[in-house]
Amino acid sequence: MDFTFTDEQQAAQMMARRFTEKEIIPIADEFDHEDKYPAEVADKMAELGLFGIILPPEYGGMGMDYVSYALVIEEISRGWMSIAGILNSHLMVGYMIANYGTEEQKQKYLPDISSGERRGSLGLTEAEAGSDTASMKSTAKRDGDDYVINGNKMFITNAERGNTFAVLAKTDTQIQPQHRGISAFIVDKETPGFTVGRKIEKLGYKGLRTCELVFEDCRIPKDNLIGDKEGQGLKYVLNGLEVGRINVAARAVGVARAAFEDSIKYAQQRHQFGQPICQFQAIQHKLAEMATGIEAGRLLTLMAADKKNRGERCDLEAGMAKLFTSELSVKASLEGIQIHGGYGYTQEFSVERYLRDACLFPVGEGTSEIQKMVIARRLLEKYKI
């Protein structure tokens, strides 16, 4: 087992660290409080090639491995978690097309997705289905050379700024089990019958609009079916979610690290009872637990990323990483507020933002309860008697 990063991985990490310190940290609190989209930062990420970081070089991507990707996302999230969210949904769309799309789809979409000219968004979640994805109500009915999509999607990241959507809908509503009837489609934003609905106000994860998608007799060409076979959509998206959960786990590590780094700095500067508060055992215990959790969470995340690099199934490892780091991030952010005391509850310091952002992780990209189910199922397969 080798824990040494390659030269390429170290270069990716340092590039992201410098970019975060220069472009993200100086604007994060202001843009968060104003709920303002960081358009200039997103454009600069496109210039760096980050919109195609894990996509194949032959289609304009950078072709980086998933360990590099996790390191980059952690660094960006140390500055502001919302920025990394711009990349997550986008790259899951790119991943699905790159791995399951037809050659024509790859040629048509991937170069612009890699450059950031096309911004991807994933239309999966529905208000009534939630974690029970197979019970989605959206349908796509074949009509000659087209599919006609009807339905609604909820809590969609990148909906406002995205222009290329991977949408899941049922092409067979009778088949059992239900997931065999779900297919995946590419839908361009300007397609008639497709509208981005209301903006959903959130506790955290500011700056990046989360919206509803509405499909009313939205007609798309049959060639927009991802791949060449119906009923494969859920398989495609579940494999994409392995990448998404690596992203979310790395984001959670980044937020926890931000809370720790701000807190250990503050604890050395803040004096109470004639000494820095870092000299008090209660504060030292908090810092020790935060740092230990961050190291453990990072290793879990990199283990999942390394397994993905090898082309192996990693839903168990990605689920473990996502579960652990989600809970870690909330706890570390809460401890950060405790260390900052009254100031931690104000907007004068960033720790209140870290907590609001951290609350997304146990819910988004599969709840902690869903992660436990995924983990348990895989463990029962692994240890079957």
Active-site positions read 365
Q: Are 348 and 341 contacting, i.e. CB atoms less than 8 angstroms apart?
A: no
Residue 116 CB: number of other CB atoms within 10 A?
Answer: 22
3-state secondary structure of 10: helix
- DSSP secondary structure letter of residue 360: T
| Tokens 């990046």 found at | 208
* The residue count for the chain: 385
Question: What is the signed CA dihedral for 84, 88, 89, 94, rounded to 10 degrees?
Answer: 130
Residue 321: phi and psi, rounded to 5, are -65, -45
Residue 61: phi and psi, rounded to 5, are -80, 175
3-state secondary structure of 141: strand
Containing 275, the helix (H) or strand (E) segment is strand 275-276
Amino acid at 150: N
Interior/surface letters 122-131, b for 16+ CB within 10 angstroms, e for the rest = bbbbbeebee
For β-strands 194-199 and 275-276, DSSP reports them as unpaired
